[in-house]
Structure 1
């Protein structure tokens, strides 16, 4: 087990993030960017709280073209935000549905220097606005002096490259979860439900030092499974079943995301062959993942192995994705994505295929791109399908 990293980040980390954002903003001719989501707010401020689970109050951070982030937040968060590196904090007594911070936010944005007359807002794929749609429409009407520019790609690209401190946190939670998966055969039991087996794993992850396990799904069935997102269910696992467990577990706000497959009692030749194909596909994706290559190159390397191995199709739509403060991040490993890989990028490799009508086999590992190629963050799965009992 690797040592647990320290929590949080040095102030210099946030300063570097802001400097990179502001350099890109100048190129994109944006006077400011409005942030409303937990990952974006946390990325630039360090404000880390479970209170985001409450949907009642909106939270706003304004990134100006010059100077530090400006917080426009409910009063309940003032003390927490004051504990970050942010100094310019404006509050209102939320919840106040008739004007939940919108007038205050408008006034602060209008006071900013205007060089380009453009306000960045994340509006594209894999982005969202965490505020009422009616409030956003009102804000736009009050900010007619600004053109609204989509800032989603700019923000995706910033978070795409992880710092050494971020990679350390992801590596730690991958290592911890690898320990739990390697111990799992000792606790998996036929005759019990998916839910019961997954419940024990969730407890084990927490006891090992994980902060949360918000994503722990499973699928099972005789000779393979037909879904990887609907469990854990109360379906009883029987001899001859194959079980997949996929988990997104966190440490200090950073995710791992990988899975493991198990057979109970026995596994037929088709299942063993499918497992061997996706295992080799993962190796191919790993070999292709190096600086100068693209996400599409990684996809092609994995799909070539699966196609030659008899894949009937892939229902997931991609063969992996970015990983970090969110379970799934931009970009995606698809034929069309073509995002260049650089040192510091963290990806999942997730080859999955339908190997028989209604039967899937999916495998996933987590990697980081280095100067020389790629390095595993999760510990590699067994090369042959593990059989329980």
Structure 2
């Protein structure tokens, strides 16, 4: 009997070693930390997307798994839309967001002011890719801000790039960084948008970058714990993830504690004695301004999200033949009278009225009226 191994036995040993090293690369504790990072950052991104689409958006329930590059075509058998995010500062790596093509078409339609009830096409247009790229740009920006707060790092990313990807054909050309990594962490989230979408949005992260995220999170958690608790730092990844979650919710806890302390306060009873009291009518302050300034408790999560402000002088409608007759010097009559307040729009929504002023050599707008102050968000 020969002592040499057959090719089948060699292949089986290599597969066993590969699977063993794959499981050692990302432990269950690391998966818990990655899930917590994704849960918090995607929660912030969902808030931003909700504002953009004017729909209720929920991105929850992260499920973390580890894949080999060769397994991606089986996981994603049809063409998907990928958004590539490159980290330039604070972290060094690539993150890939993956969405179903049908979900992208609905989001793009909502971004362009539609209802989301559409007939799906075979291919995405450049306009649809631009719309989803802008939506993801806003989402990833707010998620990076949240991640920066969690890790106590200044994080900067390149503008996200959106493209259609087929993992069985052009994935190696589109995302060579993941091909070189070979081992990839997939974080899948359930995403619901109103009653239009109930699907998944997925993150694909190279294992090396995933380990970098875990180490940054643990280091941040340990330093926070040592300063606040002045005790021996915890090394468990699960405990570290829970500490981070508590830190993010600290402001809400402080407010609840303050409310409880006010409720528990009871004035001391005055001892019976002959005293003269000055009695006067009670005058209460007006709470109108306070009501206008009452924002959601988690508003700080999106304070750094950039919004586009537009001042609209007026509008009009013309026929195609009239537009074709335009030439240099043509005058277009608008639907507003001279001196009438102009509209101030934020991301296409009217929030205020104003009057045009001149500041040095530039135009400006002085706000004269706030439209629906309670609905500005």
Q: Please, what TM-score do these two structures have when normalized by structure 2? A: 0.22
The answer to which structure has the higher helix fraction is: 2
Structure having greater relative contact order (Cα 8 Å, sep ≥ 6): 2
Query: Rg larger in 1 or in 2?
Result: 2
Q: Please, what TM-score do these two structures have when normalized by structure 1? A: 0.21
